[in-house]
Structure 1
Amino acid sequence: MNAVGGLALILGVLGIFLPLLPTTPFLLLASACFIRSNERFHYWIHHHPHLGPIIDNWNQHKAVSSTMKKRGYVLLAASFLFSLVMLPHWWMKLGLVMGYSVLFFFFHRLPIHDPHGDVAENGENH
């Protein structure tokens, strides 16, 4: 379970930067693996300042933060445009557009929930 949890954690962190790799499902898998095999890693991932809130937000509200969603939109668009330029054939580009459309549809449907404790009254993050 440690190996699967470690791999899921690595893929989850990479998913923050790579738009086609989902972050939240891999972090949830890592958490589930670590709860059974390594209490120290389980505690660490849930109390990590960047990863913990993602897991908690999904576990409590089945949602992502607006910041994560905005970042996802930007990275999706950037990777799509890069891939569109790099593909040599029109039929590959058509397949990419169809795949992007499906991915965008499901990503857009993810609910947003911004935890109230992370935002000050004036709107600045702590």
Structure 2
Amino acid sequence: MSQPEFTGETKVEKSGLRRICLMGLGWVCIFLGVIGIVLPLLPTTPFLLVALWAFSRSSIRFHNWLYTHKYLGPMVQDWNKFRVIPMKAKILAVTMMSASLALVTYKGILPLWGLILVGLSLSCVAFFIIKCPSLRPDKVPE
């Protein structure tokens, strides 16, 4: 089995507190991502992407382990190569953003200008998520 190519940038810290914190963040995100596989309201891929980023800055070994993992690797590889966001993740993300905005509006936590700013920010993120493909180009039905 050939190793997939990683096209991203890695800048590994040699030692120190920052490296330890990044490795800890990576493992926490992997833990949350694995939980997200079985819990429908917790997304998996974003946590794995954050873990991959954290490992790219702290440990080449763990970065390569995650990127080539039998079960977790394909999710991050699809994002890295094709910028694919699965339809389930898109629906969940947009729904949760909408629910968050509705809750903030209902509770009256922010002034009007704050609601507008949050609404515009969430709209931009939702637009980005929606415009990303849902399937890899080699898996699109003809």
TM-score by length of 1: 0.60
2:118 aligned residue? 96
1:4 aligned residue? 22
1:52 aligned residue? 73
Cα 1:55–1:11 shift into 2, 3 Å: same
- Please say if 1:72 is aligned against 2:93: yes
Question: Looking at CA atoms only, which structure, 1 or 2, has the larger radius of gyration?
Answer: 2
Code of the aligned partner of 2:117 = G
Alignment of 1:1-126 (within 5 A): 1=19, 3-11=21-29, 13=32, 17=42, 22-23=46-47, 25-33=49-57, 36=60, 38-39=61-62, 42-43=64-65, 46-47=68-69, 49=71, 51-88=72-109, 89-113=111-135
Aligned residue pairs: how many?
Answer: 110
What is the alpha-carbon distance in structure 1 between the residues aligned to residue 96 and residue 28 of structure 2? Answer: 18
Stretches of structure 1 that go unaligned for 5 or more consecutive residues are 118-126
TM-score by length of 2: 0.55
CA RMSD of aligned residues (A): 3.4
Code of the aligned partner of 1:84 = T
Calculate percent identity across the aligned residue pairs: 18
Structure ranking higher in helix proportion: 1
